[in-house]
Amino acid sequence: MRLIKLIFLTVFVFAIVAFSAQNYAEAISYSSFVKKVNADRQIGNPDAAVTIIEYSDFQCPWCGKFEKEDLPYIIKHYVKTGKIFMQFRDFPLTLIHKYAFKGAEYADCAALQGKYMPVRSLLYKYQSYWSAMGDIYYFLKTHAENIVNMAKEESCVKSGLPRRLIKSNMASGMNAKITGTPTFFIYRGLIFYKKVVGYKPLPLMIKILNGALQ
């Protein structure tokens, strides 16, 4: 009898956990989701003199090169010093990158847990690995369990909220005539300064940023 009660209690606890995870994202409105995600998809001082909005694709090799080789320098010398404010937007090239949209979904869902940047960095670091495998959930399950709650991640993805946001980002990108990734929109305050299409070598990017700051 005691064993039966123990089994029942164990099943009951697992059911509660599963139900809580399932309803994790369903209780959030789309507007609240967008607000939370956008708040976590930005780094630096919002009052900085220059703002950069980057549209990127998680399977884009040039986006990966920028993320791994150039972004750390920009963060250290421009973002952390208060000169530049950066925002990130999704623009998966779905015709050529089969899993880019799904990668964006998981990254945006990580933002609900305040972990957008760590998951973003992880996806770019192991870009070729999970792209070849094609199972982003399994990849994150084995590489990001110490970063995010995967039950909450899966619930969020299934809610459809990130899909709406990504499509909205893609629409805004198309309206801005984005032709490839990464694409950077640079603003001086609220005034548009320059559109940079594609990966640029770091010395050239530094020259562009310094020009925007003058």
| pLDDT tens readout for residues 10-39 | 333 333 334 444 555 567 899 999 999 999
Q: Is the pLDDT of residue 175 over 70?
A: yes
* pTM for this prediction: 0.86
Do 51 and 83 touch, CB atoms closer than 8 A? no
DSSP 65-76: HIIIIIHHHHII
Phi, psi angles (nearest 5°) of residue 89: -130, 155
Q: What is the mean pLDDT of residues 127-154?
A: 95
pLDDT of residue 15: 38
- In this structure, the number of other CB atoms found within 10 A of the CB of residue 78 comes to 22
The CATH class, in words, for 2-213 is alpha beta
Residue 128 has pLDDT above 60, yes or no: yes
Q: Could you report the per-residue pLDDT of 66-97, keeping only the tens digit for each?
A: 999 999 999 999 999 999 999 999 999 999 99
Write down the domain spans for the chain.
2-213
**Binning pLDDT at 50, 70 and 90, where does residue 100 land?**
very high
- Whole-number pLDDT of residue 127: 97
Measured CA to CA, the distance from residue 167 to residue 78 in angstroms comes to: 30
